[in-house]
Amino acid sequence: MAKKKLDEEKHMKSLTNTHKAIDFTLKNLFNNVESGADPEATKALVIITDGSPSDINTNEIQRCEKLNIARFIIGVGKIDNFEKLNKLASEPKESNIFRIENYDGLNGLLDKLQNKIYGIEGAQGRNYREELSQSGFSAASDKDTLILGAVGSDNWRGMLYEVTGSEAGMEIKDVNLNNDSYNGYSVVVGRRDRVSLVFSGAPRSNHSGQVTLFKKMTHKWEAMSNISGEQLKLEKELEICESAQGRFGMTLAAVADLNGDQLQDLAVGAPLEDNQKGAIYIYLGNHEHGIRPKYSQRIAASSISKQLQHFGLAIDGVMDMGQDGLTDIAVGAQGTVLLLKTRPVVSISVKLSFSPSEISLNKFDCLGSSENAFAIITLNTCFSMTENTNSKGAVKSGLNVSLELNADAVRQDSRAFFIKEEKTSRSLVMSVLLDSEFSCYNHTVYMHSCVKDTVSSVLFRLNFHQSDHQPNSSNSILNIDSKTTAHVEVPFQINCKNRSCVSDLQLDFNFLNSTLLVVDQASFIIHVTLLNKGDDSFNTSVVLFYPPGLSLSIFKTIEWNRRTLSSCGDRDDGALNKTTCSISLPVYRRDTRAVFEGVFRISHYYNWTDSMQMTLVASR
């Protein structure tokens, strides 16, 4: 009818009588009780125009100011004199003036504006308690008691009543809700340890909606916790205009246990979310708190069909269609009903083990000429799977998971790797289909022949998650309580007699030449015997101190009871009288005895004296 009247209106062409329009509104709409206006209510005026006013302000703006009327200006397209238009807006002008390219831009903007107006609407003046309470707007029963939603109570803050027999109802209210929250729009009752619970939807709380959980104390109902559309917005990082006025909590339904923990679960509808397409949220029941604070699943209408509107207008979830032992949830949308089938929920536990029980030290060698990689252990990953739900018949309960294994997880550079030819392959990513009670996989782990640290154990860490891609054979959902990580520490072989693990190096050496003949290019030879009588010795070396007239040219093993290699550095730090020779890195094993021959060259430029001194030190 309003559109018809507007269509009949004659266009005034080039004139923009904005001030006259305001004057008309003040006289005929605001404060006009016959037109439905509430003189006490706070008022807002929205001016949408594509031109600046062509008439002048007589006193309309002043009258608006006096009556505290909030004024929003929406300028459409090119406006020649915007200054004139700005004068019409109320303070703070910067947030009350909007400019859009064309009238299409109104769609998103009006939502934003509606929020602002909600904010001031009813903020003062009127005070209705039960006059408009709409008691019985929603209802739920629990044995002999009836819970009635009364959305209009307390200036549309809304509350509920518990009615038993003919007694006057006991109030159930959340004092933290604002006016116009519409609490009691939807209601669900439940019990926990024989204590009565009420979930109540307040779809207009803070414009995005809220569900409050009430618990019955001895003679009183108390609001325990709530979940709000505002919270969800943060969790999902949605655009404000998307979730605002989603009417979260407009519908509520207790659904039969979905995840097999024997606790009832809760579905919450937000039928205006996503630009009126709608969504529902599943909250799993929780023994301690009634429900878990974070939803386990959000099902958006857009993920089902682009055509759906107002998905979540009604929800029911107690039946099992097809008798497969799995609950089905019926969800109403504009002109249609959808049946959502639930899937089996499975718990997975994973265990890591390895063989042999330690990394043998026999093959490590940092001093040999060839560098190669060899297998150190076989790592075994075993998944065990149990279904939490009780699915029957032809339901396939497989699950596709993606797993990632990490070698030497606490170190920046890994000592171990999974592909023999690739030293950097410290992590292994794979996808596996778990379709029986146990599924085990073996992975060979390699190390390079030279590993400096063969003392600290190697940590392997595994984590897995349900794959995004689920083939037909896997239909299950991973229980969100399943632990999705595992780790294991693999030790190196230890050759210690006692706990403290101390090596006992004994060093001896003798000169092969009885005298040193100072002739250029002549040699002076020593034999060095090193015996480890204690536990394994790591990073062992022999340091030689000698006169600067000598230079070490050869240092090699000539006798051994276990293969022993050595490698000598250049003269240490430029010092002319000292060389460090590494012995059998990384480990000089217990009970090893080796004899080395050192050959020095003699320089005749050195100022030799009658005697010569040499000192050798074994260190670890």
Distance CA 326, CA 476 (A): 12
Q: SS3 for 28? A: helix
Distance CA 141, CA 585 (A): 78
**CB 290 → Ca ion: shortest distance, Å?**
12
Q: What tokens were used for 557?
A: 């093993």
**CB 320 → Ca ion: shortest distance, Å?**
4
79, 109, 241, 263: residue in contact with Ca ion (rule CB under 5 A): 263
**8 Å CB contact between 45 and 25:** yes
Q: SS3 for 551? A: strand
> Segment contacting Ca ion (CB under 5 A): 119-127, 317-325, 348-356, 459-467?
317-325
Does 388 bind Ca ion (CB under 5 A)? Our answer is no
Does 320 bind Ca ion (CB under 5 A)? Our answer is yes
273, 328, 387, 535: residue in contact with Ca ion (rule CB under 5 A): 328
> Segment contacting Ca ion (CB under 5 A): 65-73, 251-259, 489-497, 549-557?
251-259
**CB 391 → Ca ion: shortest distance, Å?**
9
**CB 155 → Ca ion: shortest distance, Å?**
37
**CB 319 → Ca ion: shortest distance, Å?**
8
**CB 395 → Ca ion: shortest distance, Å?**
9
**CB 434 → Ca ion: shortest distance, Å?**
22
> Segment contacting Ca ion (CB under 5 A): 25-33, 250-258, 468-476, 547-555?
250-258
Distance CA 50, CA 358 (A): 81
Q: Which of residues 69-98 bind Ca ion (CB under 5 A)?
A: none
Q: Which is nearer to Ca ion, 257 or 273 (CB)?
A: 257
Distance CA 282, CA 294 (A): 9
Q: Which is nearer to Ca ion, 190 or 249 (CB)?
A: 190
**8 Å CB contact between 569 and 580:** yes
> Segment contacting Ca ion (CB under 5 A): 141-149, 327-335, 526-534, 558-566?
327-335
Q: Which is nearer to Ca ion, 324 or 536 (CB)?
A: 324
Q: Which is nearer to Ca ion, 343 or 590 (CB)?
A: 343
Edge-to-edge strand list for the sheet holding 170-172: 135-142, 145-150, 159-164, 170-172
Q: Which is nearer to Ca ion, 263 or 531 (CB)?
A: 263
Q: SS3 for 182? A: coil
Q: Which is nearer to Ca ion, 265 or 274 (CB)?
A: 265
Q: Which is nearer to Ca ion, 321 or 554 (CB)?
A: 321
Distance CA 620, CA 532 (A): 11
85, 326, 445, 594: residue in contact with Ca ion (rule CB under 5 A): 326
Tell me how many degrees the CA angle 515-521-526 measures, rounded to the nearest 5. 45
Decide: residue 283, CB within 10 A, 0-12 exposed, 13-18 middle, 19+ buried.
Answer: buried
Distance CA 168, CA 465 (A): 53
Distance CA 540, CA 322 (A): 73
> Segment contacting Ca ion (CB under 5 A): 190-198, 218-226, 325-333, 474-482?
325-333
Edge-to-edge strand list for the sheet holding 399-407: 427-434, 399-407, 458-466, 485-490
Residues that contact Ca ion, how many (by CB under 5 A) = 12
Q: Which is nearer to Ca ion, 213 or 445 (CB)?
A: 213
**8 Å CB contact between 159 and 184:** yes
Nearest alpha-carbon partner for 73 in 56, 57, 51, 58: 51
**8 Å CB contact between 73 and 98:** yes
Does 265 bind Ca ion (CB under 5 A)? Our answer is yes
Return the H-helix or E-strand segment holding 2.
helix 2-8
Does 259 bind Ca ion (CB under 5 A)? Our answer is yes
Does 535 bind Ca ion (CB under 5 A)? Our answer is no
Q: Which is nearer to Ca ion, 158 or 285 (CB)?
A: 285
Does 266 bind Ca ion (CB under 5 A)? Our answer is no
**CB 252 → Ca ion: shortest distance, Å?**
16
Q: Contact letters (x/-) for Ca ion, 270-309, by CB under 5 A?
A: ---------------x------------------------
Q: What tokens were used for 348?
A: 């997975």
Q: Which of residues 347-376 bind Ca ion (CB under 5 A)?
A: none
Edge-to-edge strand list for the sheet holding 221-228: 186-192, 195-202, 210-216, 221-228
60, 154, 162, 257: residue in contact with Ca ion (rule CB under 5 A): 257
Q: H helices of 355-420, where? A: none
261, 316, 358, 572: residue in contact with Ca ion (rule CB under 5 A): 261
Which contacts qualify for 9-18: CB closer than 8 Å, 24 or more apart? 14/54, 15/54, 15/55, 16/49, 16/51, 16/52, 16/53, 16/54, 16/55, 17/53, 17/54, 17/55, 18/47, 18/49, 18/52, 18/53, 18/54, 18/55, 18/85, 18/88
Q: Which is nearer to Ca ion, 327 or 579 (CB)?
A: 327
**CB 316 → Ca ion: shortest distance, Å?**
13
Q: Which is nearer to Ca ion, 70 or 326 (CB)?
A: 326
> Segment contacting Ca ion (CB under 5 A): 112-120, 180-188, 254-262, 463-471?
254-262
Q: Which is nearer to Ca ion, 261 or 316 (CB)?
A: 261
**CB 325 → Ca ion: shortest distance, Å?**
7
Q: Which is nearer to Ca ion, 187 or 282 (CB)?
A: 282
Q: Which is nearer to Ca ion, 298 or 420 (CB)?
A: 298
Measured between alpha carbons, how far apart are the two ends of the chain, in Å?
A: 97
| Contact residues: Ca ion, CB under 5 A | 257, 259, 261, 263, 265, 285, 320-322, 324, 326, 328
